Structure 1
Amino acid sequence: MESVNLLVETVDGGDVRTKEDVCQILELAAIKENDLNIVTQCLYSTQNYKIDNLMLLEVDNHILETLNKGDIISFRGNKHDDAILCTKTRTYEVKEAEISNSWLLVPNLKLNQATNVEEVTERIIGRRNIKKIFTSYYEVKETKPNLTNLSTFLNSSSFNGLEYESMINPKTLYSWEKLQTELQASDHELKQALADFLIADINGYLRLVSFDVEARSLNLMLDYFGEQSWELDEVDKESTYECLKELIHEPVFNAIFEKYTQVSTKTKIDGSPLYIYDERKCCAMIARILLAASPVTEYKEFMETWTIGIPEKMQLKEEYLCGAALVTYNASKMQKEVVSCPEADLSNNIHKRLNELFQIKAKWTAEEITPYIMRFTKGTMNVNALLTKYARCSTKNGLKYYGSKHGK
């Protein structure tokens, strides 16, 4: 059987293998020269083979496809963080693993048929230098993005109004590029996380719009909507901004308008688009404003106040409270109450969040708890899978309820 003919050695003092040396080694090894290809390659370790700018990285099909397409993969995080590798859409943890046998990196090494030169009868001796000897490699495993610090980064420079801008430390500002560098998450996952916040691009920096600014601005926009007697799907963006531009900073207006509206099927006379307010989002925000002032309110009183606070063209529904508040029964007062419970205020860790939720209320229906755990779903790990894994199911009056896995 033909095979590549290799002799490996560490050369000291500049010694070089000759054809005679090769033949002698073959004789000692009881190998017939005729059984081998005509080219013999001798491997030499050099003084600088321990270079630090090369590493072996095991990759999965997704990373391989990314590299073959010429897309970027990058290591992200600060120097004190564990190594994290990111593609455009996925995040991987990187761990070092030992190799049982040392692996050699040899540039220009000929393999298989390349060592069989038919027209040559004399054995050819080639020199190949070992570029690096590997005793370990790095393996990757897909993991969840590390976005723990995102809220901290954004809160440090939140936009509270133009009158407060002089108080903002420029070092606390984050551009998209800076967030990419410091947060260990793929671009896609980072954009998904940012979608949970109201972000305005102000002078190239991503600024979290504070709750007070968002509440005040949305109220102004909805008041103007009511004054114009438009239908819900006839909102004129340009007219709204022109009226409110002295009261709402333009990047903030654009961010709020994008969050609370979508393009309507109707258009203006010149063909430019009209917009429709998202009834659920608007009603939910008005509810949050009321709950910020009074976190616990008697149910009937809250519903009456909530109805007054929304535009006449909107119809509120109790389900709009999901993710912002809970409707509970206070046995000591013998009354239904609306209790503030904003999803954004809970822990970003699934275990801690569920513990917090089960302390607030021991039993939840799937519909009630879904807004509070939706952010943890990914791929096949949907809401039902999360509840099966982390909670205990029980049935009462034909309804399924979920509680602490270690509770009673």
Structure 2
Amino acid sequence: MDIYSWLQRDDSFHLIQMTPDLVKTMENNERLIFKSRDRDSSIFLCSDSKTFHIRKKNHSNTVIVLKHDKENAKAIGFASMDSELEPKVVSGSIDISDVPLFEETGEEFTDFVKRTNPPSFADLRAVSTASKTEFDVQWAELNGCEIDGHAVILGFNLVVSVLKTIITTLVAYDMDQEAFSATKLQERLEDIRPEFARTVLAQFATKTPAGYSLDKPKISRWFGLQVLRSTLAPVKEEDFLINWKDAFPAFFDVSIDIQSLVGSFVRPFPNMVQFYNSAGLPQDPVQRFKELFKIQASWSLEEMKPYVEDLNSRNLKLESFVMKYARRKRIGKNYVITRR
């Protein structure tokens, strides 16, 4: 093909790869926004549902061409580019380093704002390198709350108090816990700010065509984790289950299952459980398994899984991966994982 060059340098334009994920996003007519935490940080492209990390790939000898006319195959080069932008789907995130923790201590909110200078909720959403969906989900999990346009994080004790009050109110007024109106609930929450109730419902309830429905499995697990964390020393599993059941508001009918807490506890002794934070586990597989067997002599494969699955980079069958660093031992009708 004959090419005639008429090259102009214009750094205000950049090429971006049209990956399948990006094409699908555009076909869905989702709005795309470039975001960065500051001028020196990485650049992200955020849609309603996905977050793309943008990486600049430098290259040379790239000419942008167009056909010169319809009569022949001649083309004209009209611009040159020395780089292109490569979008890669990543998990979005919210930087809450400047978002203060709010506990209801009797302090007026206006005084709290003067003292802590929280960012506006609109600004936080605008600069957060996360899609709209990811932001909403993460903000709810963080107990994020918008009060008078300001972004704050509700403190743990405040969340517990509001959640218990919501559950107690639903039970006391015999409201349908699987289909209740947030408006009617708020009418009965005399001492709870509407913003607090909305924040707690965002984490512990789901919206349905009929209103809101309490997420009982999530509520059950959440209370179980709080009881587990409060017990520093090993505790009999039977006693733990009793304490877990007692932690719920009176007359709240919800089931408990210790398997829902897998990944948050270990069994240092038979029939005993203890809270365990896996954040400090070694990244080296050999050292990771050595540490786990130091904590607990034998494991079920199901209870070991959350502590080792991040190491399985080749996506092997879990049992095959574990057998590279441990062995399987039969005890009665069951199998357990022990050190080599």
Same fold, judged at TM 0.5 (above): yes
- RMSD (Å) for aligned C-alpha atoms: 4.6
**2:83 aligns to what SS in structure 1?**
strand
- Is the aligned partner of 1:113 residue 2:46? no
Aligned to 2:143: 198
Partner of 2:197: 253
Match of 1:284 in 2: 221
SS of residue matched to 1:208: strand
CA displacement, residues 354-404 of structure 1 (integer Å, 9 cap, x when unaligned): 988984656654543667799x8xxxx9x9948859963453335475x9x
In structure 1, the residue matched to 2:231 is: 294
Pairwise CA distance, 1:299: 3.0
Are positions 1:337 and 2:276 aligned together? no
Aligned length: 322
* 1:396 alignment partner in structure 2: 329
What is the CA-CA distance between 1:66 and the residue it aligns to?
Answer: 4.2
Cα gap change, 1:55 to 1:307, in 2 (>3 Å): closer
Unaligned stretches of 5+ residues in structure 1: 9-42, 117-127, 266-272
Could you say which residue in structure 2 is the equivalent of 1:123?
none
Deviation of 1:253 after TM superposition, in Å, equals 0.9
Query: Does the CA-based 8 Å contact 1:232-1:276 persist in structure 2?
Result: yes
Show the counterpart of 1:103.
Answer: 63
How many angstroms does 1:91 deviate by? 1.4
* Structure-to-structure mapping, 1:3-402, within 5 angstroms: 6=4, 8=5, 43=6, 49-67=8-26, 71-77=30-36, 78-88=38-48, 89-99=50-60, 101-104=61-64, 110-113=68-71, 132-134=79-81, 136-145=82-91, 147=93, 150-153=95-98, 156-161=99-104, 163-164=106-107, 165=109, 166-168=111-113, 171-183=117-129, 185-228=130-173, 233=178, 237-238=182-183, 240-246=185-191, 248-262=192-206, 273=210, 276-296=213-233, 297-310=235-248, 311-319=250-258, 321-322=260-261, 325-326=264-265, 328-330=267-269, 336-341=271-276, 346=279, 359=291, 361=295, 365=300, 367-368=302-303, 385=315, 388=318, 392-393=322-323, 394-397=327-330, 398-399=334-335, 401=337
Contact 1:4 1:112 in 2 (8 A): no
Instruction: Specify the code of the residue in structure 1 equivalent to 2:329.
Output: K
8 Å Cα contact 2:141/2:203 also seen in 1: no
For 2:318 and 2:103, locate their aligned partners in 1 and report how far apart those are by CA, in whole Å: 41
C-alpha distance 74-299 of structure 1, shift in aligned 2 (>3 A):
same
Unaligned runs of at least 5 residues, structure 2? none
Q: Secondary structure at the match of 2:17?
A: coil
Distance (Å, rounded) in 2 between the aligned partners of 1:373 and 1:177 = 38
1:239 to 1:179, Cα distance in 2 relative to 1, 3 A = closer
Distance 1:50 1:371, change over 3 A: same
| Matched position secondary structure for 1:163 | coil
TM-score (norm 2): 0.70
Using the aligned pairs only, state the percent identity: 11
SS in 1 for 2:267: strand
Q: Does the C-alpha gap of structure 1 residues 259 and 305 become closer, same or farther in structure 2, counting only changes over 3 Å? A: same
Tell me the CA shift for residue 252 of structure 1: 1.1
Decide whether aligned partners of structure 1 residues 132 and 145 sit closer, same or farther in structure 2, where only a CA change above 3 A counts.
same
